A and B are shown apart, each in its own frame.
Chain A
Amino acid sequence: MPAPAPHPAPEAVVALDGVVRRFGAQTALDGLSFTVPARTIMVLLGPNGAGKTTCTRMITGALDPDDGSVRVFGRDPAIEGAEVRRRIGIVSAKPALYDRLSGLDNLRYAAELYGLGRGDDARRRIGEAAERFGITRALGQQVGGYSTGMKTRLALARSVLHDPDLVLYDEPTSGLDPESSYAVLELIREMTDEGDTVVMCTHLLLEAEGLADQVVMLQDGRSLVQGPPGELVRRYWPEHTVLVEAEDPGAVARLAGEPGVQDVRVDGAGPVVVVVDDPARTPDLVFALARHRVRVTRVEVERHSLEDLYFAVRRSSGENPIGEVHP
């Protein structure tokens, strides 16, 4: 008898399609759709109350949608919740640890609930997770005596104990000092390097910058924009611009007509904006300005960060949203 064909791997680890979730009169998620490809870091960005936490609760199946569909690993968490949750690791906004128990007992509890049992395998995994997050020496202490950073590390260790395929982090650096925050973000980066898929909620734009493969910007339970950050920035600011400041700003207008220069905008208040076909033209611009005897005080290739994008999108939401960029 021929071996059965393997099931094709689902294209997306998480897929939300038109998900609506209401709490009484309040709509927490309003037709939200996005997908999370395997082995990527998806960052859900948005202010408090935007629907980020509700989103993670939908993904684990802890909450059902009122409308729309949620698929995780190709399954409906509302129906096959236990199977889905067994493959998910989560760190909630609060570490959700049992203060009266020791760190070890917290990890043992998770190991048992996630089906690892109490045997050698569970002990080995607990040891490995504790070592990885640097909490081995504190395992015997009651969690109530842990610092915030230690609690976060314990929660992180607990989230990966069962070797999940998907990890959900809801504000994982909340309440941490800068050093601990940096360490946590490094650990998350390492995890994706090892092949995990990560969904992270945050309102800290600097955290998301450089970490996110994909972002979904949420507001009032709706997606304002989503896609890879670089793509989104290019879509929002399609022009390559160079900012030039000179002793005589009006003289910068002489760049018009130079090769690759598409436009020169002088408004008198700020720097002169020179639109070019390629930022690599910048040295040529400086050379041309020198040739025109323009005394330059500053030249800067304008680069837009995720933070710029976030505020720009939020400012323009409802007016001219830039839509979705799919990978």
Chain B
Amino acid sequence: MRETGSLQWGQVGTVARTDLKQLLQAKDFWGPMVGLGAIFFCVVPTILLFSLTSFTGVEAVEQISQTLEVLPDRAQASIQASTGGEEATPQGQASYALAVFLFAPVAVVVPLTISTAVGAATIVGERERGTGEFLAHSPAGIREIYLGKLLASLLPGYATTVVGFGIYSLIVNLIVGPEVGGWFFPTTQWWILMGWVVPPFLALTLSLVLRLSARVKSTAAAQQASGLVSLPLIMVAYSQSTGALFGGTRVTWIIGGIAWVLALTGLRRGMRSVSRARLLGVADEQ
């Protein structure tokens, strides 16, 4: 059964809003999510950056300087240019490198992990609770249901990341800023990463996770299968986001563009995997 006609964005919003409302009611679910974001965006960076800028021993400073040499030339030049070159302390340069380049994957890992956890349960959860029956018999279109659930899965991860990123920026500027001559974060490439690269990776992962959620028989199975699917994607996103920061603005735009094409293709295919029969838990819809 193919459902056609124009997309009802109002219904998409209704489905997404209701799913988010349920998520907010589940403290046992979003508590660990907030904890994950806090660890990656606040706790670990604060400890590392604070420790780095507090080193005073000659040997430690030399080791830190050596670590910068493993970075690509473009990154090293960027550090030199942004930190005032020879005038900056080795601690300042190292903490800048850490803040700008090495924590980049965190911005991808956190939303992907959270959104995968939410998305895996979204369709199979409706079926397990019996509420899929309500949706299947409702006038809401199947595309609207799919997109609503996609949004409801995407937003918690992305919102956590945006908030975490804001706090991370503050931490970086407060700890590293004085070492390199003032507030410097987010850099242009980080803005592009957050606005252009992370969302399509999220969408791509969720398109796969929602397909799984529509097909498996239980939430537990969905969580397991989603973990297997999202892990390679997290690794790809990890490497691509790091590469995007090392490779310069143009590379970042290109990586984001490719990710968007893959994401839109994935979403299109994912939309077909959801059907009323699957919401009802009837296995063999043709």
Contact = CB atoms under 8 A, between A and B. Distances in A.
A110 B134 CA distance: 9
Contacts of A110: 134, 138
Contact of A63 (B15, B132, B140, B277): B277
Contacts of B26: 100
Given A64-B1, A110-B138, A101 B14 contact: no
B25 A63 contact: no
Interface string B11-27: 10011001001100110
Contacts of A114: 138-139
B25 A88 contact: no
B1 A23 contact: no
Interface in A79-129: 81-83, 85-86, 88, 90, 92, 94-101, 105, 109-110, 112-115
B1 A81 contact: yes
How big is the B interface, by class?
Answer: 20 to 34
B282 A98 contact: no
A24 interface: yes
Given A23-B282, A63-B277, A90 B130 contact: no
Contacts of B133: 92, 94, 96
B111 to A, nearest CB: 23
A110 B135 CA distance: 9
A197 interface: no
A113 B16 CA distance: 12
A101 to B, nearest CB: 6
Interface string A120-157: 00000000000000000000001000000000000000
Interface string B111-147: 0000000000000000001111110111111000000
Contacts of A57: 136-137, 280, 282
A114 B138 CA distance: 7
A24 to B, nearest CB: 5
A57 B138 CA distance: 11
B130 A115 contact: no
Nearest to B279: A62
A60 interface: yes
Contact of B137 (A92, A105, A142): A92
Nearest to A88: B137
A78 interface: yes
Given A24-B284, A82-B141, A100 B130 contact: no
B138 A101 contact: no
Interface in B205-232: none
B137 A62 contact: yes
Given A85-B138, A88-B137, A23 B18 contact: no
Interface string B259-286: 0000000000000000011011011110
A95 B132 CA distance: 11
B3 interface: yes
How big is the A interface, by class?
Answer: 20 to 34
- Give the interface centre of B22, B130, B136, B139 by most chain A CB atoms within 10 Å: B139
A88 B284 CA distance: 25
B280 A98 contact: no
A94 B130 contact: yes
B14 A113 contact: yes
A101 B21 contact: yes
A24 B136 contact: no
A72 to B, nearest CB: 12
Contacts of A85: 137-139
A113 B131 contact: no
Contacts of B141: 82
B283 to A, nearest CB: 7
A56 to B, nearest CB: 8
Contacts of B131: 96-98
Interface string B29-64: 000000000000000000000000000000000000
Contacts of B285: 63
B139 A113 contact: yes
- Give the interface centre of A61, A88, A113 by most chain B CB atoms within 10 Å: A113
B132 to A, nearest CB: 8
A224 B137 CA distance: 27
Interface string A61-72: 111100000000
Contacts of B279: 62
A23 B21 CA distance: 35
Contacts of A23: 282-284
Contact of A62 (B130, B276, B284): B276
B11 A113 contact: yes
A142 B139 contact: no
B26 to A, nearest CB: 6
> 6 tightest CB-CB pairs across the interface, nearest first?
A94-B130, A96-B134, A100-B25, A62-B136, A112-B14, A92-B133
Interface of A: 23-24, 57, 60-64, 78, 81-83, 85-86, 88, 90, 92, 94-101, 105, 109-110, 112-115, 142
Given A97-B134, A113-B138, 15 more contacts: A23-B282, A60-B136, A62-B277, A82-B139, A86-B139, A92-B134, A94-B130, A96-B134, A98-B22, A105-B18, A110-B138, A112-B10, A113-B11, A113-B15, A114-B139
25 contacts: A24-B283, A61-B276, A62-B276, A63-B276, A63-B277, A63-B280, A63-B285, A81-B1, A82-B5, A85-B139, A90-B137, A94-B130, A96-B132, A97-B134, A99-B129, A100-B22, A100-B25, A109-B14, A110-B134, A110-B138, A113-B14, A113-B15, A113-B138, A113-B139, A114-B138
